[in-house]
Amino acid sequence: MHALVRPPSDAIARAIVREPVRTPDPTQARVEHRAYTDALRKLGVHVVALPEAPDLPDACFVEDQAVVRGEVAVIARSGHPARRAEAAAIADALVAYARVVHMPAPATLDGGDVLVCGRTLHVGLSKRTNAHGVAFLAEVFGPLGFTVAPIPVPGSELHLQGVCSALDDETVLLAEGTVPADRFTGAQRVLITPRREAYAANTVAVGGAVLVAEGYPETARVLEDAGFAVVPLRMDALAAADGSLTCLSIRW
Ligand code: CIR
């Protein structure tokens, strides 16, 4: 597995947030990001790291900028106009690994809305991702053998993967009472974690190991009971910037 990452800069203190509760601390954000990339490397992932982007507050949340599957990289047209400047460096990095295709207006999409489970791309229709964005993914990835399944995202959530993530090619982890489990048509099974631990439903799985936000014991138990090895990671400053684990990398 490859993972493209971009460490946070001091600018993360000015990240876009839904409800400003506390200012994301750049020093702590760097510590958390380093632990994340260390964990990926330890699991055998080939990590490709871009330099910090000191003028782009949300640049470490690279997942939103591209969807990579089957030798093709779709560069997203970010659902938040202030984030569109992040895409150029991502496209430049991905040309070494994939055929790069740019999503045209009026489509918008954030990669955080794309949950890949096997050959199915479950794509959230959200404040950031519109129907044109979903249609563009279907146009590009359909001929490559992928199915695109749109899923409405609850208004309270930024992205689909704010409440769920893929654990392997057939399993999804989902926070109860958010998205109906039967919307995950590409999954054979859906593991449920309690709503109060919804933040921890966003995980990054590598083989049988799963990176999970630290401090969510019921989610850890659900994963362990299903046979996964839990790797807890502190998400404090990055969470204050509305970030979660999947959004810190583009994986393929
Ligand atoms: C934003 O609002 O766009 C960023 N502050 C957070 C993006 C998080 N992305 C993700 O979960 N995929």
Residue 224 three-state SS: helix
Per-residue pLDDT, 21: 85
Whether the per-residue pLDDT at 70 is higher than 90: the answer is no
- Give the number of other Cβ atoms within 10 Å of residue 207's Cβ: 12
User: 123: pLDDT confidence band, cut at 50, 70 and 90?
Assistant: very high
Per-residue pLDDT, 41: 98
Nearest to 156 by CA among 116, 121, 198: 198
Answer left, alpha or beta for residue 227, where phi above 0 means left and psi between -120 and 50 means alpha: left
Q: Which atom of ligand 1 is nearest to the CA of 63?
A: 12
User: 20: pLDDT confidence band, cut at 50, 70 and 90?
Assistant: confident
Mean pLDDT, rounded, for 29-39: 98
Whether the per-residue pLDDT at 177 is higher than 90: the answer is yes
Per-residue pLDDT, 217: 98
Average per-residue pLDDT for the chain: 98
> What is the Cα–Cα distance from 195 to 127, expressed in whole angstroms?
21
* Beta strand pairing call for 189-193 and 171-175: parallel
* Cis preceding linkage at 106, omega within 30: yes
Residue 188 three-state SS: coil
Per-residue pLDDT, 229: 98
What percent of the chain clears pLDDT 70, i.e. is strictly above it? 100
* Contact in structure between 7 and 53 (CB atoms under 8 Å): no
Per-residue pLDDT, 149: 98
Whether the per-residue pLDDT at 181 is higher than 90: the answer is yes
Nearest to 103 by CA among 71, 130, 143, 70: 130
**241 CA from centroid of ligand 1 (Å):** 7
Q: How many residues does the chain have?
A: 252
> What is the Cα–Cα distance from 105 to 112, expressed in whole angstroms?
19
Q: Whose CA is nearest to atom 7 of ligand 1?
A: 243
Q: Whose CA is nearest to atom 5 of ligand 1?
A: 16
Q: Whose CA is nearest to atom 9 of ligand 1?
A: 247
> What is the Cα–Cα distance from 84 to 98, expressed in whole angstroms?
20
Q: Whose CA is nearest to atom 1 of ligand 1?
A: 16
Residue-wise pLDDT for 134-146, tens only, equals: 999 999 999 999 9
Q: Which atom of ligand 1 is nearest to the CA of 242?
A: 6
> What is the Cα–Cα distance from 10 to 58, expressed in whole angstroms?
10
Q: Which atom of ligand 1 is nearest to the CA of 83?
A: 3
**137 CA from centroid of ligand 1 (Å):** 20
- Around ligand 1, the residues with Cβ closer than 6 Å are 15-17, 58, 61, 63-64, 80, 83, 112, 159, 241-244, 246-247
> What is the Cα–Cα distance from 140 to 118, expressed in whole angstroms?
17
Q: Which atom of ligand 1 is nearest to the CA of 113?
A: 12
Residue 100 three-state SS: strand
Per-residue pLDDT, 187: 98
Q: Whose CA is nearest to atom 10 of ligand 1?
A: 247
The set of catalytic residues is 159, 247
**28 CA from centroid of ligand 1 (Å):** 17
